[in-house]
Amino acid sequence: MRAVCVDVPGGPENLLLQSVPRPNPKAGEVLIKVHAAALNRADLLQRRGLYPPPAGESDIIGLEVAGTIHTLGPGVKKQWKPDDRVMALLCGGGYADYVSVPEELLMPVPSNLTMCQAAAIPEAWLTAFQLLDFVVQVKEGEVVLVHAGGSGVGTAAVQLVRLFRGVPVVTAGSPEKLKLAEKLGAVVGFNYKEESFAQGVHDFTGGKGANVILDCIGGCNWESNVSSLAIDGRWVLYGTMGGRAVEGDLLGKLLSKRGHLLTSLLRSRSLQYKADLVKAFTGRVLPYFSDQPATLRPVIDSTFSLDDIAEAHKHMEANRNMGKIVINVIPQIEQTQ
């Protein structure tokens, strides 16, 4: 099968489309014929050698796919069958023609979604759902500050906060991204390149602050985040795009707010944790993608072919995307036949 490999860590030019053996599904696994995959920031880190896959997992990049079931491995318990349309959360292996996945990590593709739309759901939406439901347990009426509101996780989080009857507030780096987030349900947005989001949150909440902060930025924002946090608020860190080092009185200022600093990753979680997450998401959230009119929708920024994977990585690294960047593994014309 075709797969994108990285023989030497480095820039996008080090992504090589090669021919590799097709995986065989192990006990309890399902082999998916991949129609579409989607990019995540973790893919860029893995390409550079900074975020290796968990032990025993595929070293092929790619954390989410949509496609059709090709083969069932021995001992599969659920009622999956060949040609079922599925989407899946992965530990790796998504940039390929086929990927083998534990059956617990499969979800049915809603009938009204294309494969490209479905590929944009698993990693981004399960991350946002995990943060809001499993980690901070957001409550009705709470103000949730979502950083990178125009990103894949950001656009998912805004919609989920609305679904959970919270109040989404966002930051983003362009007027276009703020407009997108507000169209999805954000009550207000702040351009971090032009204004103080901490002051904006203070003004919007009448000085009370945000009850929850979803933070993929990290270091450079710590002071503004603590300033934005409500008393007893929950600040959850799930990325460090803005640096890992912190200088200054973080602990003292956080203590004065009685703030909760939480951290979370998804890829390194156990299979049982991910299975519970997929089950909860499938039951509580997935139906809202197919109600009429659909309450939730994946946001697609752009699509690239597997041959153009390097260009897709460059597009993400330039921070130009609004929503998800999707890779067509099978051209759309073939997917519809």
pLDDT tens-digit map of 10-42: 999 999 999 999 999 999 999 999 999 999 999
Residue 194: band (very low, low, confident or very high) from pLDDT cuts 50, 70, 90: very high
Residue 322 has pLDDT above 60, yes or no: yes
Q: What is the pLDDT of residue 337?
A: 34
What average pLDDT does the segment 50-58 reach? 90
Q: What angle do CA 194, 199, 201 make, to 5 degrees?
A: 105
pLDDT tens-digit map of 221-279: 888 999 999 999 999 999 888 888 888 888 999 999 999 999 999 988 999 999 999 99
Structure tokens at 287: 């139906």
Q: For 296-335, b where at least 16 C-beta lie within 10 A, e where not — what string? A: bbbbbbbbbebebbbebbebbeeeebbbbbbbbbbeeeeb
Domains of the chain: 2-124+267-328 (3.90.180.10), 125-263 (3.40.50.720)
Residue 333: band (very low, low, confident or very high) from pLDDT cuts 50, 70, 90: very low
Residue 332: band (very low, low, confident or very high) from pLDDT cuts 50, 70, 90: low
**96: which DSSP letter?**
B
Residue 335 has pLDDT above 60, yes or no: no
Span of 119-133, 202-216, 238-252, 285-299 with lowest mean pLDDT: 238-252
Task: State the chain's mean pLDDT as an integer.
Answer: 94
Distance of alpha carbon 219 from alpha carbon 223, whole angstroms: 9
Q: What is the pLDDT of residue 240?
A: 84
Residue 124, judged by CB atoms within 10 A of its CB (0-12, 13-18, 19+), counts as buried
Residue 327 has pLDDT above 60, yes or no: yes
- Give how far Cα 11 sits from Cα of 18, 54, 303, Å: 17, 22, 20
Distance of alpha carbon 300 from alpha carbon 129, whole angstroms: 18
**Residue linked to tokens 């679904």:** 163
Residue 100 has pLDDT above 90, yes or no: yes
pLDDT tens-digit map of 268-289: 899 999 999 999 999 999 999 9
Q: What is the pLDDT of residue 314?
A: 97
Q: What is the pTM of this model?
A: 0.93
Residue 336 has pLDDT above 60, yes or no: no
Q: What is the pLDDT of residue 247?
A: 86
Distance of alpha carbon 115 from alpha carbon 337, whole angstroms: 13
